[in-house]
């Protein structure tokens, strides 16, 4: 039985980011291409969020496992660096899920404050106040910064704009 691209995409939706299990590799925007050959072989092309992201190997292994388990015998996962991943590729559903998970989603790169090298306006994922302050540009993983909300006083992770 051969799988078409739509079904492969459906399976990829089940593969989560190992460090942020709230969103899938599709919603994160790291899956750049899916090809199904005439003989049923599948090739998935992914791109790293951050150069040194240690989750990439796990993502590749998880993608292979999910597709193998669904009955696809030959799965190849290719890594590409160009074009470089941007937070703009996180889908709207992905951004919503990040927020529900307690991580402030990245602002759009077109945010004028971010463009000018200033501090972007970040909303607290808990109480939605924008009275927030960045504690450190480097957070629990390479892709996140550490923020604090001045209204509810809770610290929170922010997905850095890249």
Partner 1 sequence: MDIKEAQFIYTLRLADDLLILSQRLGEWCGHGPILEEDIALTNRALDHLGEARNLLTHAGQLEGKGRTEDDLAYLRMERGYTNVKMVELPNGDYATTMVRSFLFDAYHLPLMTGLLSSKDEQLAAIAGKSVKESTYHLRHSSDWVVRFGDGTAESHEKARSALNELWTFTGELFETDEVTEMLQKAGIAPDIAVIKEAWDKTVSAVLSQATLERPSDGFMATGGRKGLHTEHLGLILAEMQHVTRAYPGVEW
Cβ atoms of residues 30 and 46 within 8 Å = yes
User: Judged by CB, which is closer to partner 1: 121, or 135?
Assistant: 135
Closest to 87 measured CA to CA, from 66, 70, 103, 72: 103
Contact between 50 and partner 1 by CB under 8 A: the answer reads: yes
Binding marks (x or -) toward partner 1, 52..71, rule CB under 8 A?
A: xxx-----------------
22 Cβ neighbours under 8 A, 6+ residues apart: 16, 97, 98, 100, 101, 103
Pick one of 139, 149, 157, 159: the residue that binds partner 1 (CB under 8 A): 139
Classify residue 70 by its DSSP letter.
Answer: T
Q: Is 89 in the site for partner 1 (CB under 8 A)?
A: no
146 binds partner 1 (CB under 8 A): yes
Residue 81 touching partner 1 (CB under 8 A): yes
Please report which residue ranges of 13-146 form alpha helices under DSSP H: 25-28, 55-69, 92-100, 112-115
Using rule CB under 8 A, residue 93 touches partner 1: no
* Among the residue ranges 14-22, 49-57, 70-78, 92-100, the one whose residues contact partner 1 (CB under 8 A): 49-57
Q: How far apart are CA 46 and CA 145, in angstroms?
A: 24
The tokens for 39 are: 């003989």
Site mask for partner 1 (CB under 8 A), range 3-42, x = bound: ----------------------------------------
The rounded distance, in Å, linking the Cα atoms of 85 and 109 is: 12
- Residues at the interface with partner 1 (CB under 8 A): 48, 50-54, 80-85, 117, 135-140, 142, 146, 160, 162
């Amino acid at each position: 039985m051969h799988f078409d691209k739509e079904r492969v995409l459906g399976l990829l939706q089940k593969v989560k980011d190992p460090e942020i299990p709230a969103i899938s590799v599709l919603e994160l925007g790291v899956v750049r291409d899916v090809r199904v050959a005439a003989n049923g072989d599948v090739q998935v092309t992914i791109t790293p969020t951050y150069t040194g992201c240690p989750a990439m190997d796990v993502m590749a292994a998880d993608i292979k496992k999910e597709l193998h388990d669904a009955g696809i015998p030959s799965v190849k996962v290719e890594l590409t660096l160009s074009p470089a991943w941007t937070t703009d590729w996180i889908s709207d559903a992905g951004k919503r899920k990040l927020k529900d998970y307690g991580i402030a989603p990245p602002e759009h790169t077109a945010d004028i404050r971010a463009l000018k090298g200033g501090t972007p306006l970040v909303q607290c994922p808990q109480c939605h106040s924008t009275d927030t302050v960045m504690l450190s540009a480097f957070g629990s993983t390479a892709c996140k910064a550490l923020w604090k909300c001045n209204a509810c006083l809770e610290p929170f992770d922010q997905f850095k704009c890249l």
